[in-house]
């Protein structure tokens, strides 16, 4: 019997105060959580110190857990240019850490991630966390839901690229949800402003 291919996917939910991450192991049609957590950045006042720490910690996690691919949540596009720029920098530095280790990088729009996990693009962080824990048989959500958000990105990438269900549904489902190597939210500026109000920790103060 041919041995099942085993590989790992790292998902990252970018942030400038807390950056969530999760590593998913795939073996055939089975998946399991290897690790999930968050990178605590909120005590670093210097924005450039934060970026350096993101690069170092993401690189260290990649070295430790050995993912084959890295998937990130892409920033919203909206009217709050300064906030979008800061979040985009955090995402870019995490991406650079993966690219510096010759890994393939993918991006997924927030709406697509939520829809792939819960079936609803407007799902809350708590709803995403609940389903992630159920799918991976985790006892309880982590203290900060940035961690389950990071794992949700890894699951979204798995569903989009490795799941037999996705292949059966075809490319139209992928196009309808948006995303891939380059994805943007369809929500526009209204969704970005609402997101910032709901998650003020995403901004560099």
Any idea which residues carry the catalytic annotation? 13, 73, 146
Q: Is the dihedral of CA 157, 162, 163, 164 positive or negative?
A: positive
Helix axes 81-99, 188-198, angle to 10 degrees: 80
Which residues, listed in sequence order, are joined to residue 104 by a DSSP beta bridge? 69
Q: Are 23 and 42 in contact (CB under 8 A)?
A: no
Q: Are 16 and 39 in contact (CB under 8 A)?
A: no
Closest CA to 28 of 169, 165, 162: 162
Quote the CA–CA distance of 24 and 8 in Å, as a whole number.
5
Q: Are 20 and 13 in contact (CB under 8 A)?
A: yes
């Amino acid at each position: 019997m041919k041995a099942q291919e085993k590989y790992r996917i790292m998902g990252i939910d970018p942030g400038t105060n807390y950056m969530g991450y999760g590593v998913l192991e795939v073996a055939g049609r089975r998946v399991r959580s290897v690790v999930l957590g968050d990178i605590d950045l909120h005590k670093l006042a210097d924005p450039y110190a934060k970026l350096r720490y993101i690069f170092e910690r993401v690189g260290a996690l990649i070295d430790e857990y050995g993912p084959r691919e890295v998937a990130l949540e892409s920033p919203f596009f909206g009217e709050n240019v300064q906030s979008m720029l800061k979040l985009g920098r955090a995402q870019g530095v995490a991406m650079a850490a993966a690219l510096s280790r010759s890994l393939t990088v993918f991006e997924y729009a927030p709406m697509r991630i939520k829809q792939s996990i819960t079936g609803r693009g407007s799902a809350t962080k708590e709803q995403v966390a609940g389903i992630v824990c159920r799918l991976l048989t985790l006892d309880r959500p982590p203290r900060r839901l940035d961690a389950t958000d990071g794992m949700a990105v890894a699951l979204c990438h798995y569903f989009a690229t490795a799941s037999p269900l996705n292949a059966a549904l075809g490319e139209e489902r992928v196009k309808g949800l948006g995303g891939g190597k380059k994805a943007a939210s369809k929500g526009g500026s209204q969704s970005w402003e609402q997101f910032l109000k709901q998650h003020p920790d995403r901004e560099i103060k």
